[in-house]
Amino acid sequence: MSTVVSEQHGLRTGTMAQALNLALRDAMRADKTVHVLGEDVGALGGVFRITDGLTAEFGPDRCLDTPLAEAGILGTAVGMAMYGLRPVVEMQFDAFAYPALEQLFSHVAKMRNRTAGKLPLPITVRIPYGGGIGGVEHHSDASEAYYAHTPGLHVVTPATVADAYGLLRASIASDDPVVFLEPKRLYWGKDGWDPAAGVEPVGKAVLRRPGTSAVLVTYGPSLPVCLEAAEAAKAEGWDLAVLDLRSLVPFDEATACEVVRSLGRAVVVHESAGFGGAGAEIAARLTEKCFHHLAAPVLRVTGFDVPYPPPMLEHHHLPGVDRILDAVARLQWEE
Amino acid sequence: MTVLDHRNDPAAAGTVPGWRPGATAPRTDPAPLLPDPEPLRVLGTPAADAADPALLRELYRRLVAGRRYNQQATTLTKQGRLAVYPASTGQEACQVAAALALRPDDWLFPSYRDTLAVVARGVDPLQALTLLRGDAHTGYDPRATRTAPLCTPLATQVPHAVGLAHAARLAGDDTVALALLGDGGTSEGDFHEGLNFAAVLHAPVVFLVQNNGYAISVPLTRQSAAPTLAHKAVGYGMPGRLVDGNDALAVHAVLTEAVERARTGGGPTLVEALTYRIEAHTNADDATRYRQAEEVEAWRVHDPVRLLEDALRGRGLLDEELVADAAERAEQLAARMRAEFHTDPELDPMSLFAHVYAEPTQQLREQAGQLAAELAAEAEVHGR
C-alpha cells in the first residue's frame, strides 16, 4: 500500500472520530475517484459524525445518502468500483453490516480472484464495531472473525488516533478491499498526532509497550485495556509488553513471533467470542512457530461465547484488567 | 356509511402539511409505469414487415448458432467434458436480442444461464464456458467486452449494474448497464434493493427478467403473486414492460427503447420477457419430476427460432444461402467446442495463489511453498 500524507501539517490534538473524518476529507481531496456512500452519511454526517461536513464540501454525489439497504449499498459500490471509482462504504453498526455479507463474501472478496486480476475492487467498508458504549441489542458486535476468515479481504482495526488517520488513508489507497473496523468505544478518546507524519503500510504490528515478562497480543478496542492491565501488572512484579496487531489480515506473523520468542509467554486478548475467534488462530500460529521458545501455552482472554449481552451486563462480558491478569498468572511462572 | 367511505374526499387533505412526509418531488403518476396487459409481439404481426432485413438475418444466424451451442454444451456434459451446463434452449431470442440492443461501450451483467448473451457481446464462445468446464471462474477479460462475470448467486449482479450505471452517469458518460436475471431471482433481496437504488439514483440501467416459468422446480405461482413480474417496477417508480421473450424482434424493440430511455436520462426500466426453458435446469436436473410433457410440447411449438424463420420466409428473406450459411457457422462452432473440450486443459496449480490480493500475504507465500513442495514430491514419484 502506498504512503499517503495529509494536506494538514503539524501536531494536532483530537479524537479518533475527528481523525477518521480528516482522513476521509483528505482522501477525497487527494483523489476525485473516492466516493463515500452509506446511511445518514450526508446532512447528518453519520450517526457517529465520521462523515461530518463531507457532503457540504464535496456535494451529495461524492458523499451519498443511500436508501436503507446494506446489500444494496455494497452491491452498488461493487459496480462503482468496476467503473473505476474508489468507494468508501459506511455500515452504520457492526450487526447492521450482516445483510451485506453475501455481497462482501461472494463478490467483494472474490472479484479479483475470479477474474484473474482483471477486476480488482478497491472498496473500503467502514464498520463502527464492538461494545463498551452501552449500546442496546445489535449495536455492539465484535464481528472481525467473520471477515478475517474470508480470503480476499484485508481486515484492519485502529486502536489509536494516529492509526485511525493513517490506516484509513492506507486502506482507501489500497487496491484490495478492506474491512475497516472502527472501535466505537475509542471514537471519543483524544490524543496528539501528526497527520503529516506519513502512513505505514497496512500489515505492520507495532509494540505499544516494551516489557520483559510476557506479551499481551491485541488489536483495536482491546488495546487500552491491555495497556491498563500492563500498568496494573507492575504491582504483581510482571513487566508486560503490549503488541498492537493493527490488522488481522495481513497478519504480521514475523513481528508477533519475534516478540513471543524473546519473552516466551503470551496472552492474546480480544472482546469477541473466543470459539473460532481471531485469538484461536493467532494462538495456534504462535504455538506452531514459537513452540520451543514458549515457557507456557499461549492463552486467550476473550469475550464469552454468548450473544452480546444487554448493556447493563456488558462489563461482565468484556475482557477487563482482572481477567487479563488472571491469565498472566496462569503462564506457569513457578520453576 | 363508514368513515372509509370518505376516502379521497378533497376536504380531508386541507390540514396535512405535505402530501407525504419527506417528499420534495411531485407525486409520480403510476399509470404510465404500468405494463401493457399483453406482452409485446412483433413476429407474425404486420409490424414485422417493417423490420430491418439485416437485423433479421443477424438474429437468425445468432439464434441458430446459439441453439447448436446449447446442444453441444449439453452433450459435452454427458461426456464429462463440462462440469455442468444450464442450457438456455428456448431462451435464445431473449439473450441474443437483448445483448444486441446494447452498444459496445455499454455493460452487460449476466447470470449463469446467459452464456449466449455473453457470446453476443463478443466474448469468445469457448472462453465463456470456462466457468462451466471448471478450469477458470471467468475465462474472459470483463473489461475487454464490458461483460461482467457470469453471476451465480442469484440477483447479486443487479446492484452491480446499478452502481456501474450510477458511476457512469456521474462521469457524464452515456454508458448504459443491462442486468439479466430469471423469475426466481426476483424473489431475492438484491433484486429489490437494486431496483430501489436504481430508481432513487435515476441510474441508466435496464433489468431484463427472463421469466422461463420455473426456478429449478418451483413454478412462478409459488414464486410471486404479483399480477406480472413487470408490475413490480411500479412500486419502485420505474416503468415495467412485458414482452414475448421468444419473439426476437419484440425483445430487441423493447430493450432498444429501454436502453435509449436510460441513455437519454430517462432512468431505469424493468422488462419481463415471457419465455420457457425447454431443457432441464441443468444436466443434473430431472424436469419430468415437476413439469408435464404437454406443457413442454406447447412451448416447443412457440419456438424462437421457428418464429424467426417464419418471419424471414414471409419476407422472402429465408433463402438457401442464409440457411446454409447459418447452419455451417453453427456446425463450425460446435466442432470448435468439441475439439477444444475433448482436450484436457493445461492448468497451473500454483495459480491458486494468484490474484487473491494485489500482493500475497506472508501466509499465502508459505502455502504456495507448501503446494510447490507437494507438486515436486508428486513429480518425483511419477518420475520413478
pLDDT 10s digit of each residue in chain B, 384 long?
Answer: 788 887 777 776 666 666 678 887 777 899 999 999 999 999 999 999 999 999 999 999 999 999 999 999 999 999 999 999 999 999 999 999 999 999 999 999 999 999 999 999 999 999 999 999 999 999 999 999 999 999 999 999 999 999 999 999 999 999 999 999 999 999 999 999 999 999 999 999 999 999 999 999 999 999 999 999 999 999 999 999 999 999 999 999 999 999 999 999 999 999 999 999 999 999 889 999 999 999 999 999 999 999 999 999 999 999 999 999 999 999 999 999 999 999 999 999 999 999 999 999 999 999 999 999 999 999 999 876
Is B356 touching A (CB cutoff 8 A)? yes
What pLDDT digit, counting tens, does each position of A94-148 carry? Answer: 999 999 999 999 999 999 999 999 999 999 999 999 999 999 999 999 999 999 9
Picking from A158-167, A198-207, A265-274, which range would have the lowest pLDDT averaged per residue?
A: A198-207
Range of the domain at B56: 31-341
Contact A119 B171 (CB under 8 A): no
Of A80, A107, A251, the CB nearest to B156: A107
Is A313 touching B (CB cutoff 8 A)? no
Grid cell, residue A165, equals 488517520
3-state SS assignment for residue B160: helix
Phi, psi (rounded to 5 degrees) for A272: -75, 165
Using CA atoms, how far apart are residues A1 and A18, in angstroms rounded to an integer? 23
Contact A117 B362 (CB under 8 A): no
Average pLDDT over residues A163-169: 96
Picking from A179-188, A194-203, B102-111, which range would have the lowest pLDDT averaged per residue?
A: A194-203
Chains A, B: CB contacts within 8 A come to: 138
Same domain as B332, residue B196: yes
Same domain as B358, residue B259: no
Grid cell, residue A250, equals 495481513
For residue B281, indicate whether it is catalytic.
Answer: yes
Same domain as B359, residue B255: no
Same domain as B230, residue B209: yes
Contact A118 B163 (CB under 8 A): no
Choose from A35, A62, A70, A82 for mutation: most chain B CBs within 10 A: A82
For residue B57, the tally of other CB atoms under 10 A from its CB is: 18
Phi, psi (rounded to 5 degrees) for A181: -95, 115
Using CA atoms, how far apart are residues A206 and B332, in angstroms rounded to an integer? 62
> Sign of the CA dihedral B2, B6, B11, B14?
positive
Picking from A153-162, A189-198, B308-317, which range would have the lowest pLDDT averaged per residue?
A: A189-198
Using CA atoms, how far apart are residues B205 and B190, in angstroms rounded to an integer? 15
Among B157, B152, B141, CA closest to B109 = B157
DSSP assignment of A216-277: EEE-GGGHHHHHHHHHHHGGGT--EEEEE-SEEES--HHHHHHHHHHHS-EEEEEEEESTTS
Same domain as B240, residue B107: yes
Same domain as B298, residue B366: no
Q: Where are the beta strands (DSSP E) in chain B?
A: 107-109, 177-182, 205-211, 214-215, 218-219, 240-244, 269-274
pLDDT at A1: 41
Same domain as B203, residue B253: yes
Query: For position B184, which CATH number holds?
Result: 3.40.50.970
Quickly state the pLDDT bin for A334 (edges 50, 70, 90): confident
**A206-329: same fold as A12-197?**
yes
* Homologous superfamily in CATH for domain A12-197: Thiamin diphosphate (ThDP)-binding fold, Pyr/PP domains (3.40.50.970)
pTM value is 0.96
Using CA atoms, how far apart are residues A14 and B244, in angstroms rounded to an integer? 63
Same domain as B367, residue B287: no
pLDDT at A270: 98
Catalytic (active-site) positions of A: 139
Same domain as B366, residue B239: no
Ordered by start, the domain boundaries in chain A are: 12-197, 206-329
Quickly state the pLDDT bin for A3 (edges 50, 70, 90): very low
Is B200 touching A (CB cutoff 8 A)? yes
Of A76, A176, A251, the CB nearest to B162: A76
Grid cell, residue B357, equals 490480493
Grid cell, residue A308, equals 452480546
Provide the residue type at A248 as one letter.
L
Match 419484440 to its residue by C-alpha cell. Answer: B250
Does ipTM top 0.85? yes
Is A66 touching B (CB cutoff 8 A)? yes
* Contact between B276 and B212 (Cβ < 8 Å): yes
pLDDT at B12: 66
* Burial zone of A285 (CB within 10 Å; 0-12 exposed, 13-18 middle, 19+ buried): middle
HSE-up of residue A254 (Cα within 13 Å, Cβ side): 7
Same domain as B208, residue B102: yes
Q: Where are the beta strands (DSSP E) in chain A?
A: 12-15, 34-38, 63-65, 86-90, 124-129, 154-156, 178-183, 190-193, 206-209, 214-218, 240-244, 247-249, 266-273, 299-303
Contact A76 B163 (CB under 8 A): yes
Of B161, B192, B196, the CB nearest to A79: B161
* Residue count of chain B: 384
Quote the number of domains for chain B: 2
* Contact between A110 and A61 (Cβ < 8 Å): no
Contact A118 B142 (CB under 8 A): yes
Using CA atoms, how far apart are residues A9 and A12, in angstroms rounded to an integer? 8
3-state SS assignment for residue B381: helix
Contact A79 B159 (CB under 8 A): yes
> Sign of the CA dihedral B91, B94, B97, B101?
negative
Same domain as B318, residue B191: yes
* Domain membership flag for residue B12: no
* Residue count of chain A: 335
Provide the residue type at A321 as one letter.
V
pLDDT at A8: 61
Choose from B164, B188, B364 for mutation: most chain A CBs within 10 A: B164
Grid cell, residue B65, equals 448458432
Q: Residue A128 forms beta bridges with which residues?
A: A182
Provide the residue type at B284 as one letter.
A
pLDDT at A331: 97
* Domain membership flag for residue B13: no
Distance from CA of A188 to the nearest CA of B (A): 32
Residues 51-90 of B with CB under 8 A from A: none
Q: Is the link from the previous residue into B142 a cis peptide, with omega within 30 of 0?
A: no
Which CATH number does A206-329 carry?
3.40.50.920
Task: Answer yes or no: is pLDDT of A55 > 80.
Answer: yes
* Contact between A260 and A287 (Cβ < 8 Å): no
Using CA atoms, how far apart are residues B103 and B56, in angstroms rounded to an integer? 18
Is B3 touching A (CB cutoff 8 A)? no
Among A177, A74, A319, A38, CA closest to B162 = A74
Task: Answer yes or no: is pLDDT of A4 > 60.
Answer: no
Same domain as B375, residue B270: no
Among B9, B42, B102, B93, CA closest to B314 = B42
Using CA atoms, how far apart are residues A107 and A116, in angstroms rounded to an integer? 13
Grid cell, residue B358, equals 494485489
